[in-house]
A and B are shown apart, each in its own frame.
Chain A
Amino acid sequence: MAEIDIRAARKSYGKNPTLHGIDLNFQSGEFVVILGPSGCGKSTLLRMIAGLEDITSGEIAIDGRVVNRLEPRERGCAMVFQNYALYPHMTVAGNMGYALKVAGVPKPERERRIAETAKIVGLSDYLERKPAALSGGQRQRVAMARAIIREPKVFLFDEPLSNLDAKLRVTMRAEIRKLHQRLSATSVFVTHDQVEAMTLADKLVVMNKGHVEQVGHPLDVYHRPASTFVASFIGAPAMNLFESRVEVETASAYLGGAPVRLPSSLAASLRGKDVTIGIRPEHTIVATKGPGVAAEVDFIEELGAGRVVHMLVEGEPFAATIGEDLNVAPGDRVSLDLPLEHLHVFNRETGRRIDPSDLPADAPAQHCAPLLTTP
Chain B
Amino acid sequence: MIQRTPYADAFTYFVMILGFILLIGPFLVIIAGATQTLQQINSVPFRFMPQGQFLENASAAWARADLARAIGNSFVMAGLITVGKVVLSAMTAFAIVYFRSPLRHFFFWAVFITLMLPLEVRVVPTYNVAADMFEPFRLLIAFVTGIEVSVEWNLLNSYAGLTLPLIATATGTFLYRQFFMTLPDELAEAARMDGSGPVRFFFEMLLPLSRTNMLALTTIMFVYGWNQYLWPLLMVTDPTYKTTMMSLSALVPSENATPDWNVTLAGTLIIMTPPLLVVALLQRWFVRGLVATEK
Residue A40 CB within 8 A of the other chain:
no
Residue A178 CB within 8 A of the other chain:
no
Minimum CB–CB distance from B125 to chain A (whole Å) comes to 41
Check if B186 sits within 8 Å of A73, measured CB to CB.
no
B186 surroundings in chain A (CB, below 8 A): 81-85
Which of B51-59, B189-197, B262-270, B273-281 lies at the interface? B189-197
Minimum CB–CB distance from B183 to chain A (whole Å) comes to 9
Check if A89 sits within 8 Å of B193, measured CB to CB.
no
Residue A45 CB within 8 A of the other chain:
no
- Size class of the A contact interface (CB-based, 8 Å): 20 to 34
Q: Secondary structure of the B side of the interface?
A: helix
Contact residues of A with B, CB < 8 Å?
A: 50-52, 71-73, 77-79, 81-89, 98-99, 102-103, 132, 146, 150
Contact residues of B with A, CB < 8 Å?
A: 184, 186-187, 189-196, 200, 204-205, 208-209, 294-295
Minimum CB–CB distance from A345 to chain B (whole Å) comes to 44
Check if A102 sits within 8 Å of B184, measured CB to CB.
no
Minimum CB–CB distance from B288 to chain A (whole Å) comes to 15
Seed contacts A83-B184, A132-B295; 19 additional CB < 8 Å A-B pairs: A51-B192, A52-B192, A71-B192, A72-B192, A72-B193, A73-B192, A81-B186, A81-B189, A85-B187, A85-B190, A87-B191, A89-B205, A89-B208, A98-B196, A99-B193, A102-B195, A102-B196, A102-B200, A146-B194
Quick one: which of A51, A102, A146 has the most chain B CB within 10 A? Answer: A102
A210–B79 CA distance with the chains assembled, in angstroms: 55
Check if A50 sits within 8 Å of B209, measured CB to CB.
no
Minimum CB–CB distance from A119 to chain B (whole Å) comes to 21
A86–B187 CA distance with the chains assembled, in angstroms: 7
A132–B294 CA distance with the chains assembled, in angstroms: 10
CB within 8 Å for A79 and B190 given contacts A99-B195, A103-B195: yes
A78–B195 CA distance with the chains assembled, in angstroms: 10
A52–B187 CA distance with the chains assembled, in angstroms: 12
Check if A52 sits within 8 Å of B295, measured CB to CB.
no
A146–B195 CA distance with the chains assembled, in angstroms: 12
B184 surroundings in chain A (CB, below 8 A): 83, 85
